[in-house]
Structure 1
Amino acid sequence: MSRSLTYEAPDATGKSAAHTDTYHGHFARLVPDELVVEVLAFEAVDPALGGTMTLTTTLTDAEGGGTDVLMVHEGIPDAVPAADNETGTRMALENLARFVETGREV
């Protein structure tokens, strides 16, 4: 699979293009309604941004209804600022929320 996150903020920079992070990967483990483990790598010219990362997403029932989502990133390249990783994760979760709430992809 290949996916991209596009940053709308004019001062945001991407690893694959001026305002875009593109990555590819595969699902290493899927447990329905509980766990998703993805193995990912950025598409980037800079070798400091290369390497394989693992993203583990755990889903649990939230108290009072809904679902708690815990995302753990492992193997993020040192050249990727923590703030950039947090922004990308937040964007992905916002897109997921919109999809769940509306049934439409963003």
Structure 2
Amino acid sequence: MSVTRLRHHVKAPRARVYRALLDAHAIATWRVPPGMSSQVHVFEAREGGAIRVSLTYDAPGPAGKTTAHTDTYQGRFVKLVPDEQVVESIAFETDDPAMRGEMTLTLTLRDAPTGGTELLAVHEGLPSGVRPEDNAEGWRLSLDRLAALVEAG
């Protein structure tokens, strides 16, 4: 199991960034890489609340982890610290042993010295079938979308 660790500067206040981490409509917009669409099935933004999201490739070709072209993950919110941290425990819905396993996603927010918010995203417990560099690139693209969303207000 491996770890992805990314820092991202967002030109928006922590409270606005935090809200986008816990809003199902925002999640469907930013937490999906380019070339995929998102469907949020369940998103109970409270400690212990359930999460279930599907990401589907827009074009045929890439293989999904759950179905032919879809990656579905489910889990729960482990810890919520308002305007500071969101911790999720998630797992892919899959029959592939290389893609199984519980992952922990920790998103920590701090005031950036130059203004705005510094976001640290730590994705631990990646299954052996997920290349860390692919996971990091997907997160970089998603965090760019998050920044664009919250910076626009």
Q: TM-score under structure 2 normalisation?
A: 0.57
Q: Distance in 2 between matches of 1:14 and 1:87?
A: 17
Once superposed, what is the RMSD of the aligned Cα atoms?
2.3
Q: What does residue range 42-81 of structure 1 map to in structure 2 within 5 Å? A: 42-81=92-131
Whether the 8 Å CA contact 1:55–1:72 is kept in 2: the answer is yes
Per-residue deviation, residues 14-46 of structure 1 (Å, max 9, x unmatched): 322444322111110000111111000012220
Matched, 1:24 2:24: no
Structure 2 residue ranges without an equivalent (≥5):
1-50
> In the alignment, residue 62 of structure 1 is paired with which amino acid?
A
Task: Return the structure number with greater relative CO, CA threshold 8 A, min gap 6.
Answer: 2
What is the aligned partner in structure 2 of residue 94 from structure 1?
144
Q: Distance in 1 between matches of 2:144 and 2:71?
A: 16
User: Which residue of 31, 34, 43 maps to 2:84?
Assistant: 34
> Which secondary structure does the structure 2 equivalent of 1:91 belong to?
helix
> Which secondary structure does the structure 2 equivalent of 1:75 belong to?
strand
**How many residue pairs end up in the alignment?**
103
What is the aligned partner in structure 2 of residue 5 from structure 1?
55
Structure 1 residue ranges without an equivalent (≥5):
none
Q: 1:57 to 1:17 in 2, by over 3 A?
A: same
Whether the 8 Å CA contact 1:5–1:88 is kept in 2: the answer is no
